Amino acid sequence: MKIAENNRVDGAIEKLLDRLISVIGDEAVLFEKFLQLLERQQQALITNGTDELKAVTAQLQEVVSQSQRLEQQRVATVDEIREHGDSDTDLNVSQICEMADSARSNQLQTFRDTILGLYGRIEETRMRNGLLIEQSLEQIQNTVEVIGRIPAQKETYHKHGGYSKELNRLGVDRRV
């Protein structure tokens, strides 16, 4: 149903569409921030910046929380649009664009394209960060194994003032 088809519903749907555009715009800004934080996380992983890594991780958690709140707002707004549009099925952005005037439709399509592009970049960066973390863990494991193989001399004194040398493995606590 196009907005122009029903003047009574017209204003309510326009407000809902404006709210949806605002929420999706906020999500796009948040996705950009998330991507920037992931890139900072990647640099911290590469440079072994533990303090930076902790700070970025805390910021990422906050962005995820904000994203969840925005998603709830978006879902609620889409549900209201669906109710006003007399639709029994879930609506996607393309279907909502059909209901909107051209200006709102263009905004929604632009935000959709922006978010899809950001999502692709976010996934790529997350995968690289995951690989860096795996490589770091492998390096730690290899280092622990090498340290565990280093022989340590154990000097034992005898009652006549002499001593004997024995080779023992270094005891390494492998609980990490």
User: Per CATH, is 3-169 categorized as 1.20.58?
Assistant: yes
Q: Which of 40, 39, 37 is nearest to 64 (CA)?
A: 37
| DSSP characters over 63-126 | HHHHHHHHHHHHHHHHHHHHHHTT--S---HHHHHHHS-HHHHHHHHHHHHHHHHHHHHHHHHH
pLDDT (mean) for 111-118: 95
Residue-range domain boundaries for the chain: 3-169
Using 50, 70 and 90 to split pLDDT, how confident is the model at 142?
Answer: confident
| Six token digits for residue 112 | 């959709």
The pLDDT confidence band at residue 7, using thresholds 50, 70 and 90, is: very low
Residue 2 has pLDDT above 60, yes or no: no
The residue with tokens 């399509």 is: 109
Buried b (16+ CB within 10 A) or exposed e, 119-141: eeebeebeeebeeeeeeeeeeee
Instruction: Answer for the pair 121, 151: CB distance below 8 angstroms, yes or no.
Output: no
Name residues whose C-beta falls within 8 Å of residue 49's C-beta, 6 or more positions apart in sequence.
Answer: 43
Per-residue model confidence as pLDDT tens digits over 31-67:
999 999 999 999 999 998 899 999 999 999 999 999 9
Considering only 15-24, 121-130, 133-142, 155-164, which range has the smallest mean pLDDT?
155-164
| pTM exceeds 0.85 for this model | no
